[in-house]
Structure formats: structure tokens, C-alpha cells
């Protein structure tokens, strides 16, 4: 495995989480196929989807310009942390970019993440929220939103179909992006890049979290306490987030309290993470 002591990532592994939304997943994966930088692989980290998703991935894999794997686990409630860990274990790259199966990347998404990669740092990107109406049109009409002209995106913004558009028109230079201070702002595992060796050092995502929420915050704060700094990927790595109904958040408060307690104790290692899987813990390519 190449060392993260080089100035840039070698092969990148894009780990895409999904659960029973094959139409959105197809739009995301097709956008990945259109990347300007194709030195990457795709791992679909599936949190228990039915056969429709498997069939969708098999169709996408036919003639795909990059390697694509499907890593599946049984449906036993919200277990995104476990799905992402299985994706990490299946990955061959030394740099992992996490992307959600409802977040469509721009054409230079991989290239920009590669350019922003620095040893000892992670990159937290941002997202552009799409309205329910625009999401429906994009999926039903196969609109290539990543290729939409800026004028079209500005019109969508004026109509309230996007929550922001300036990030599509402006690219910040790679200056002042690294912070030595911790911030809870913009921690989203739907657009997050981390060196594999740093993930292994903190034992990956913590699967002891149950239900929706804060397993991504827990990872980032543990990485910070392990010495990994954060780089801001705004105005560089934005993704289009397709609308969906919010997941049940009955565990949100207890998960938040747990993260805050761990942050205060400066915990770095996941209680149940990568090391607890072992080679036999993979349900890959089902």
C-alpha cells in the first residue's frame, strides 16, 4: 500500500453508501463514470438493499470505465458505519473518498479531492441541496445535473430548487484550507476524504452507534485527537444532494451526547470498527 507521506493520493477508492434507492444510486455512479480523473475505483457499500439495487449495480458494471465492487450486508436497521467499514476493507486505494448514494458529484470531484489531499489531513466537502421537485425531474428525465450550464443552475437557485449556486461558479484557490482548530461545522460523511492509514489508526467508523446520526462526527473528532487536521473542501468538491425524506432520528440525542463525551475524553479508537471485522467478516459481491 502506498504511503500517505507522498504529497498526493495514488489510487483513490470512492466508497458510496446506499440503501434501497437504485434510481439515485444509478445517477451517482453514472456521474462517477464521467469523472475527468479516472484513476479511482468504486465500492458500493450497501446497507442491506433488496435485489433491485444488486441488479442496478450489475447493469452499471457492464462496460464501466473504472472498477466497481458491491459490498452488501444484511438489513438490520441503520448501520451506515458498518457498511462504510466494509467498503474500506474492500478498497485497494490508499485514499478513501466517502460519497453517499444520493449525492451526485461534479465532473472534477475526484480530481479536486486528489489535488486537496495532504498527508496528515482529511478533507470535508460540502453539498448543494436539491428540492423535491428538481430531484424528481432529474431522476425521471435522466437529467445530467453535473453537466448543467451555470445559467441553468442559477435559474434553479432563483426558483428555490437549489439552496446555493455560487459554489458552482467559483473555485477557491488551495490557500488557507487547513485548520488546526476543531470545528463541528460541515462534518458530512456524504463527502469526506481520509487517508486509509489514518482510518486504520483510529479503527474506522464506530459501529457501536445505533440508529441515525453522529457516527461521522465521531470519526472526525477521533481523527482530530489522533493528530489528523481538517481541510475545507468548499468551493471545490461540492456534490448535488438529491432530496429524500429524513430518516428516523430517535437516537439522535443519545448519539450526540456520546460523541460529546468522547470528544471531552479525547478518545481516538473506535470501540467496534475495522479491526473487529477480520478477513471473514466481508459479504462482498453478493
Q: Where in the chain are the domains?
A: 12-270
Helices (H), the chain: 22-33, 51-61, 80-90, 109-116, 132-140, 150-158, 166-169, 196-201, 215-225, 252-265
For the chain, list residues with pLDDT below 70. 1-8, 247-252, 279-286
Stated pTM of the model: 0.91
Cβ(117)–Cβ(123) under 8 Å? yes
- 3-class secondary structure, 68: strand
Distances (CA, A) of 119 to 122, 198, 227: 8, 10, 11
The reported pLDDT for the residue numbered 247 is 62
Buried b (16+ CB within 10 A) or exposed e, 2-27: eebeeeebbebbbbbbbbebbebbbb
The reported pLDDT for the residue numbered 246 is 72
- 3-class secondary structure, 277: coil
The reported pLDDT for the residue numbered 282 is 43
Determine whether 58 is exposed, middle or buried from the number of CB atoms within 10 Å of its CB (0-12, 13-18, 19+).
Answer: exposed
Assigned architecture for domain 12-270: Alpha-Beta Complex (3.90)
The reported pLDDT for the residue numbered 4 is 41
pLDDT tens per residue, range 29-52: 999 999 999 999 999 999 999 999
Q: How many CA atoms lie within 13 A of 12 on its CB side?
A: 25
Amino acid at each position: 500500500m502506498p504511503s500517505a507521506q507522498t504529497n498526493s493520493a495514488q489510487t483513490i477508492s470512492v466508497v458510496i453508501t446506499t440503501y434501497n434507492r437504485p434510481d439515485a444510486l444509478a445517477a451517482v455512479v453514472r456521474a462517477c463514470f464521467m469523472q475527468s480523473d479516472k484513476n479511482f475505483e468504486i465500492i458500493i457499500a450497501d446497507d442491506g438493499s433488496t435485489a433491485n439495487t444488486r441488479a442496478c449495480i450489475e447493469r452499471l458494471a457492464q462496460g464501466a470505465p473504472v472498477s466497481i465492487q458491491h459490498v452488501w450486508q444484511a438489513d438490520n436497521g441503520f448501520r451506515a458505519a458498518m457498511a462504510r467499514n466494509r467498503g474500506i476493507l474492500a478498497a485497494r486505494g490508499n485514499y478513501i473518498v466517502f460519497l453517499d448514494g444520493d449525492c451526485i458529484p461534479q465532473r472534477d470531484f475526484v480530481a479536486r479531492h486528489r489535488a486537496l489531499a495532504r498527508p496528515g489531513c482529511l478533507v470535508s466537502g460540502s453539498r448543494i441541496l436539491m428540492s423535491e421537485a428538481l430531484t424528481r425531474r432529474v431522476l425521471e428525465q435522466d437529467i445530467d445535473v453535473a453537466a448543467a450550464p451555470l445559467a441553468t443552475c442559477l435559474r434553479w437557485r432563483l426558483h428555490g430548487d437549489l439552496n446555493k449556486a455560487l459554489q458552482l461558479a467559483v473555485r477557491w484557490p488551495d490557500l488557507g484550507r487547513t485548520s488546526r482548530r476543531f470545528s463541528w461545522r460541515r462534518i458530512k460523511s456524504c463527502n469526506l476524504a481520509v487517508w486509509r492509514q489514518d482510518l486504520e489508526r483510529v479503527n474506522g467508523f464506530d459501529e457501536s452507534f445505533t440508529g441515525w446520526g453522529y457516527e461521522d462526527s465521531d470519526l472526525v473528532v477521533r481523527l482530530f485527537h489522533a493528530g489528523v487536521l481538517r481541510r475545507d473542501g468548499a468551493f471545490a468538491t461540492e456534490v448535488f444532494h438529491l432530496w429524500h425524506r429524513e430518516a428516523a432520528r430517535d437516537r439522535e440525542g443519545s448519539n450526540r451526547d456520546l460523541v460529546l463525551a468522547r470528544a471531552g475524553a479525547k478518545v481516538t479508537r473506535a470501540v467496534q470498527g475495522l479491526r473487529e471485522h477480520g478477513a471473514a467478516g466481508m459479504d462482498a459481491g453478493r
